[in-house]
Amino acid sequence: MSLSPRLHQIAHHITPGASVLDVGCSDGLLLDYLRREKQVDGRGIELDAERVARAVARGLSVVQGNADHDLAAFPDASVDFAILSETLQAMQRPDEVLAHLLRIGRRAIVAFPNFGHWRVRANILFGGRMPVTKGLPQSWYETENIHLCTIDDFRALAASRGYRIIAQRHLWGANPQSAWPNLLADHALFVLSN
């Protein structure tokens, strides 16, 4: 089974044999890949019962839970990498979840859609409407994405909390986007440490 370019980019930053907590792990596709290809000791947490059931049926250690409430039980510095993929913007308190990631993991890997992308800006600027794009396909009233941010917003949050940015990768579709990422990249990945 092949990974999407986004998940592949996350996997790229995981060192073989590492321990991993994937927060919002869906049906465990990434954890399954990391277990097979990188001999990772993986755990996951996922809100949706059916996805959890599919992940556990794959033999993964995944618990049904809510990242906003259930990360507190995880011990300090208990994994090498805490991953938050496509989930940050759906959190009640993204800042607190981020703090938990960096408490539980020695490093945090956070991937999210960039709300500063020009298509999003154009939607609001010219259309006067909340954007509906390929990366953000739902209307404002039904989306789970309640805390969308731009790449610059995220950098500012990391700076204000004193987190170190170890690496950052920006994508436009499946391709790297290094110039003017806050405008031209529709997706971002950050590797953070305390």
Q: What does the block give as tokens for 85?
A: 């993929």
Q: Does 103 bind another protein (CB under 8 A)?
A: no
Site string for another protein, 131-170 (x = CB under 8 A): ----------------------------------------
CB of 146 to another protein, least distance (A): 24
Q: Which of 52, 98, 108, 158 binds another protein (CB under 8 A)?
A: 52
> What does the alpha-carbon distance between residue 68 and residue 71 come to, in Å, rounded to a whole number?
7
User: 5-12 and 29-38 are packed helices; what angle lies between their axes, rounded to 10 degrees?
Assistant: 40
| Window of 46-54, 109-117, 157-165, 166-174 that interacts with another protein by CB under 8 A | 46-54
Q: Does 56 bind another protein (CB under 8 A)?
A: yes
Q: Does 74 bind another protein (CB under 8 A)?
A: yes
Q: Does 77 bind another protein (CB under 8 A)?
A: no
CB of 58 to another protein, least distance (A): 6
> What does the alpha-carbon distance between residue 59 and residue 1 come to, in Å, rounded to a whole number?
16
Q: Which helix (H) or strand (E) holds 61?
A: strand 61-64
| Interface positions with another protein (CB under 8 A) | 43, 49-50, 52-53, 55-65, 70, 73-75, 78
